[in-house]
Structure 1
């Protein structure tokens, strides 16, 4: 079930107006669609974070704008990483009877045998691009890695999605690999005899006892 989000229309104004809006705990946003004119709105920051915690960013949201209800999806999030603050949101109105493109997280379950044996898990692909009806978007795509050993690779072709969901990524795309542990460099041990011989050779070179270079008269 889509989570509801309350929004209010706002007037387009200077940058200072947006700053004032954010200082009041609101996020400036815009909603648009094929049959909806682009409309500036504002939502409560606390309510947005609650939505993200409950259903993430890639699910259908029921947006109530001054009493008018719209089925939308979040298309863009502008944020300030330094202050960890959301600055602006884009909502796109969707048709619940038309397929839409989105992405969902790839969640790994269990601990791989290869990792227990010292291997290293390299999870290179963390989101899967899919196409389906808005109401059929899964929370995530899971894969159990418990039986994987060192050297095993999982590709997109190995993932399973619900009926009605189409995977858009190439089947050969690598999701994860269990690689062997990196061997620590081994330092060569030097025996006492070798050390004394090396020191002696170094001393001979310093004293000029190496091979003499013949002068022209001796050539």
Structure 2
């Protein structure tokens, strides 16, 4: 069920006005969609952060603008990474009966057998781009990695997605791999060097045993 976020219409203003708005705990935003002109609004920062923490940024939000409710999704977020604050938001109105493109996080479960044996898990594809009805957007796509050994890879086609979800990736795109750790090639090289040294010692010993004593007579 979509979470509700209250918003108020606002007037377009200068940088100082937007700064003042943020100082009051509000985030300047713009509402797009329905073929109408964009509408400047403001939302409570605290409420938006709560929604983002609970359901992420890729799910439907019930945006209530001065008593009028819209189904929306976050289109863009502008933030200040130093202050860790959201500076501006863009919302897009959506039709709940039309498929949309969005992303969903790929969550790995368990510890791979290959990792227990010294390998390293490389997680390359952390989000899937999908197409589905807004009401069918999954919270996440999970994959259990416990059975994976060193040298194993998982591709998009190995993932299980709910019915009605279209994945917008090639099936052979790699999601994750279990690779040898950097220490392992060194260990192998050391073993090979030790084996070579042993072979050299055996060769020297054989050459020594094959020498004949000098003729004294």
Give, in whole Å, the separation in 2 of the partners of 1:182 and 1:54.
38
Aligned to 1:55: 55
In 2, Cα distance between equivalents of 1:6 and 1:37: 20
Stretches of 4+ moved more than 2 A in 1?
A: 34-37, 183-189
Supply the distance in 2 between the matched residues of 1:147 and 1:67 (Cα, whole angstroms).
52
Q: What are the residue-to-residue correspondences of 1:51-130 with 2, within 5 Å?
A: 51-130=51-130
Deviation of 1:170 (Å): 1.3
- What's the counterpart of residue 43 of structure 1? 43
TM-score (norm: length of structure 2): 0.84
Q: Equivalent residue for 2:178? A: 178
Count residues with an aligned counterpart: 189
Report deviation, 1:37.
2.5
**CA deviation after TM superposition for structure 1 residue 35, in Å:** 3.5
The equivalent of 2:150 in structure 1 is 150
Counterpart CA distance in 2 for 1:51 and 1:118 is 39
Give the corresponding residue for 1:211.
none
TM superposition shift of 1:34: 3.0
Alignment gaps of 5+ in structure 2 = 195-217
1:16 maps to which residue? 16
- 1:146-178 deviations in whole A, cap 9, x for unaligned? 100000000111111111000001111111000
Name the structure 1 match of 2:7.
7
Matched, 1:165 2:165: yes
Offset of residue 36 of structure 1: 3.5
**Paired residues of 1:36 and 1:93 also in contact (CA < 8 A):** no
What is the TM-score of this pair, normalised by structure 1?
Answer: 0.83
Alignment RMSD, CA only?
1.5
User: Would you say the 8 A contact 1:32–1:38 is kept in 2?
Assistant: yes
Bigger-Rg structure (1/2): 1
Query: Which has more helix, going by share of residues?
Result: 2
CA distance in 2, matches of 1:36, 1:94: 13
